[in-house]
Structure 1
Amino acid sequence: MNPTIKTFPTTKFIGKNLSFTYVDYRTFELWSSFMPRRKEIKNVIGNEVYNIQINPKDFDFKPNTPFVKWAAVAVTNFDYIPDEMETLVMEEGLYAVFNYKGDQTNAAAFFNSIYTEWLPSSGYQLDSRPQFEILGEKYKNDSSESEEEIWIPIKLK
């Protein structure tokens, strides 16, 4: 596990969000409501979609602890916001970027390795900013050939 350390710039997003827990994981519901309408969003930057997770302060990763998940695209401005969509601004920050390849069957174990193995042995600690995945051209839902970038917010210990 060898991430790249990158700075993600301040970025504006438009999308939809839901609050849920790992026990009541409603990500399919979120993405099913967002994807058919994503073309309504104007001034989109690139073709990527973002799966953004905003954890509460001191998030404990326990199954019943709620967090907010966003399905969104990056935009240049908020001049037009489609009905039932919202805006989000993510501030610039340092991230550990991991490349994940495969379907979602091993995703939980991959995230667990990041938080329980890589992070404690690195010179970084988790920062209280959103974590996210960039689903770009190589992302193929439920395919063993799918690839995505996982961005974990970090700061020096």
Structure 2
Amino acid sequence: MQPQIIQLPEKKLVGIARTMSFLDYQVSELWQSFMPRRHEIQNVKSNQLFNIQVNPPGYSFDPETAFEKWAALEVDAYTTIPDGMQKLIIPAGRYAVFTYRGDGSNASDFFRSIFTQWLPEAQLQWENRPQFEVLSEKYQKNSPDSEELIFIPVL
């Protein structure tokens, strides 16, 4: 688990957001509402899908704490935002970028090891900015050959 540390430029996104917690995790429903409508978004930079988590101030990683989850696409500019969608700006900042491979069955363990092992060992701190996954052409839902990039904001 050796991430790349990058300085991420600001990103403009358009998508659908839903408030949820890990105890009431509705990510499948979120993506089911977004995917049929993704072609309505204008000025799309690429086909990469963004699975974003925006945490409230003082977020404590408690499974009951609500956060905002987004299904989105990156855009060059905001022109027309489709009805029922919103815009989101991910501010520029420092990120640790991990590659996750697998069918998702051990994703929670992978994330737990980032926050409980890797961050302390790297002597870095998590910063409460949007954290997200980028799902590109290598992403294949529920496939052991699937690959995605995980972006964790760090100080």
Q: Which category of TM-score, normalised to the shorter sequence, fits these structures?
A: over 0.9
The amino acid that maps onto 1:143 is S
Question: What are the ranges of 5 or more consecutive residues in structure 1 without an aligned counterpart?
Answer: none
Q: Output one character per residue of 1:104-126: Cα deviation in whole Å (capped at 9) or x when no partner.
A: 11000000000000011112101
Q: Output one character per residue of 1:97-150: Cα deviation in whole Å (capped at 9) or x when no partner.
A: 000000111000000000000011112101110000000010001111100000
Indicate the RMSD between aligned Cα atoms, in angstroms: 0.7
Give the structure 2 partner of residue 123 of structure 1: 123
Give the structure 2 partner of residue 48 of structure 1: 48
- Listed as ranges, the matches of 1:1-157 within 5 Å are 1-155=1-155
The amino acid that maps onto 1:37 is R
What is the rounded CA distance, in whole Å, between the counterparts of 1:15 and 1:63 in structure 2? 24
Q: Secondary structure at the match of 1:28?
A: helix
Query: 4+ residue stretches of structure 1 with deviation over 6 A?
Result: none
Q: Secondary structure at the match of 1:105?
A: coil
Q: How many residues align?
A: 155
The amino acid that maps onto 2:9 is P
| Percent identity for Structure 1 against Structure 2 | 49
Q: CA deviation at 1:56?
A: 1.5
What is the rounded CA distance, in whole Å, between the counterparts of 2:148 and 2:11 in structure 1? 19
What TM-score does the superposition give when structure 1 sets the normalisation length? 0.97
Question: What are the ranges of 5 or more consecutive residues in structure 2 without an aligned counterpart?
Answer: none
